[in-house]
Amino acid sequence: MSRRPPRGEYIETDTGNKVARKATLVGTQNIMLGGKTVIQPEVMIRGDLVRSIQSSSTSSSGGATPNNTAVAIGRYCFLSRGACLRPPGRLYKGAFTYMPLRMGDHVFVGPGSVIQAASIGSHVYIGARVVVGEFAILKDYVRVLDGTVIPPNMVVPSFTIVAGQPARVIGEVPEGGHEAFELRDLYKTVGNNPHPAPA
Amino acid sequence: MAPFNPYTFIQCPCSDSSPLGRPADSNSPTGSEPEEDERTFDPRAPRSNYSLYPLEYLLYCEDCHQIRCPRCVSEEIVTYYCPNCLFEVPSSNLKSEGNRCTRSCFQCPICIGPLNVTTQETKPPDPSLLTAGNAPHSGAYALTCSYCNWSSTEIGIDFDKPNGIHAQLAKIRNGGEPRLTAKERKERRKELSHRGDSAAVVAAREEIDGQALDLENQFANLKAFYSSQLADPSAGDNGLSTLGDLGFSSPSSLSRIMSLYTGGKLNDNKAKSRLGAMREALTSDEGLLVTDLDESALISQLHLSDHCDTASTEQITNQPPNLGEPLLHGASRFTSSLRPIPYLLRTKRSKRCPVCRHIISKPESKVGTTRFRIRLVAGSYIPSITIKPLVLPNPSGGSSSSNVGDLLTPLTPVHYLLTFKNPIFETIKVTLATPAATPGRFASKVTILCPQFDIDANTDVWDEALKDNDRGDKSSRSSGSHTRQRRGTEAGLQLEVGKIWERGRNWVSIVVEVVPASLRLEDGGMLREDEDVLEIAMFVRIEWEAENGGDDAGISSAAVGKDRDQKEKRELAYWCVLGIGKIKQT
Looking at residue B531, what is its pLDDT?
A: 79
In a domain, A31, yes or no: yes
In a domain, B245, yes or no: no
Reduced to 3 DSSP states, what percent helix, strand and coil does chain A have, rounded to the nearest 5? 10, 35, 55
At A174, the pLDDT band (50, 70, 90 cuts) reads very high
Q: Which of A172, A175, A181 to mutate to test the interface with B (most CBs of B within 10 A)?
A: A175
In a domain, A52, yes or no: no
In a domain, A62, yes or no: no
CA angle A135, A138, A142 (to 5 degrees): 155
Q: Are B187 and B303 contained in the same domain?
A: yes
Q: Are B321 and B178 contained in the same domain?
A: yes
In a domain, A38, yes or no: yes
Nearest residue of chain B to residue A185 (CA atoms): B468
Alpha carbon of B63: minimum distance to chain A alpha carbons (Å): 19
In a domain, B424, yes or no: yes
Q: Which amino acid is at B528?
A: R
Q: Which of B288, B323, B344 is the last residue of a domain?
A: B344
Task: Supply the range of the domain harboring residue A106.
Answer: 10-47+68-188
Distance, CA of B506 to CA of B425 (rounded, Å): 9
Q: Which of B69, B84, B110, B147 to mutate to test the interface with A (most CBs of A within 10 A)?
A: B147
CA angle A186, A189, A192 (to 5 degrees): 135
Q: Backbone dihedral region of B472: left (phi > 0), alpha (psi from -120 to 50 degrees) or beta?
A: alpha
- Identify any residues that bridge with B551 across adjacent strands, giving them in sequence order: none
Distance, CA of B322 to CA of B179 (rounded, Å): 13
Q: What are the chain A neighbours of B370 within 8 Å (beta carbons)?
A: 139-141, 158-159
Alpha carbon of B519: minimum distance to chain A alpha carbons (Å): 32
Q: What is the CATH number of the domain that holds A175?
A: 2.160.10.10
In a domain, A53, yes or no: no
Looking at residue A196, what is its pLDDT?
A: 72
B114/A141 CB distance under 8 A: no
Looking at residue B411, what is its pLDDT?
A: 83
Which of these, B450, B457, B444, B377, lies nearest to B418 by C-alpha position? B450
In a domain, A173, yes or no: yes
In a domain, B30, yes or no: no
B379/A149 CB distance under 8 A: no
A133/B146 CB distance under 8 A: yes
Q: Are B147 and B218 contained in the same domain?
A: yes
Q: What are the chain B neighbours of A199 within 8 Å (beta carbons)?
A: 386, 388, 419, 421, 502, 504, 507, 509
In a domain, B182, yes or no: yes
In a domain, B68, yes or no: no
In a domain, A63, yes or no: no
Looking at residue A61, what is its pLDDT?
A: 44
Distance, CA of A153 to CA of A94 (rounded, Å): 19
Q: Are B332 and B414 contained in the same domain?
A: no
Contact indicator for A165, A133 with CB cutoff of 8 Å? no
| Cβ neighbours of residue B415 closer than 8 Å, sequence gap 6 or more | B389, B390, B392, B400, B495, B511, B512, B513, B514
- Identify any residues that bridge with B349 across adjacent strands, giving them in sequence order: B77
At A55, the pLDDT band (50, 70, 90 cuts) reads low
A160, A195, A199: residue with CB nearest B477: A195
Q: Are B338 and B428 contained in the same domain?
A: no
pLDDT in tens, A28-45: 999 999 989 999 999 999
Q: Are B328 and B421 contained in the same domain?
A: no
Looking at residue B265, what is its pLDDT?
A: 54
Kindly give the parts of chain B with pLDDT less than 50: 18-37, 123-137, 235-245, 269-274, 328, 395-402, 404, 471-492, 550-563
In a domain, B522, yes or no: yes
Task: Supply the range of the domain harboring residue B551.
Answer: 7-13+384-556+570-582
Distance, CA of B518 to CA of B17 (rounded, Å): 33
Nearest residue of chain B to residue A134 (CA atoms): B146
In a domain, A58, yes or no: no
Q: Are B310 and B418 contained in the same domain?
A: no
pLDDT in tens, B30-66: 444 444 445 677 777 777 878 889 999 999 998 888 8
Burial state string for B340-350 with b = 16 or more CB within 10 A and e = fewer than 16: bbbbbbbebbb
B127/A160 CB distance under 8 A: no
Q: What is the mean pLDDT of residues A181-187?
A: 90
Looking at residue A197, what is its pLDDT?
A: 66
Higher local confidence (pLDDT), A25 or B207: A25
Q: How many structural domains are present in chain A?
A: 1
Q: Does A197 touch chain B (CB under 8 A)?
A: no
Q: How many structural domains are present in chain B?
A: 2
Q: What is the mean pLDDT of residues A74-99?
A: 91
Q: Are B283 and B408 contained in the same domain?
A: no
B113, B346, B361: residue with CB nearest A175: B361
Q: What is the mean pLDDT of residues A60-64?
A: 46
A139, A151, A156: residue with CB nearest B113: A151
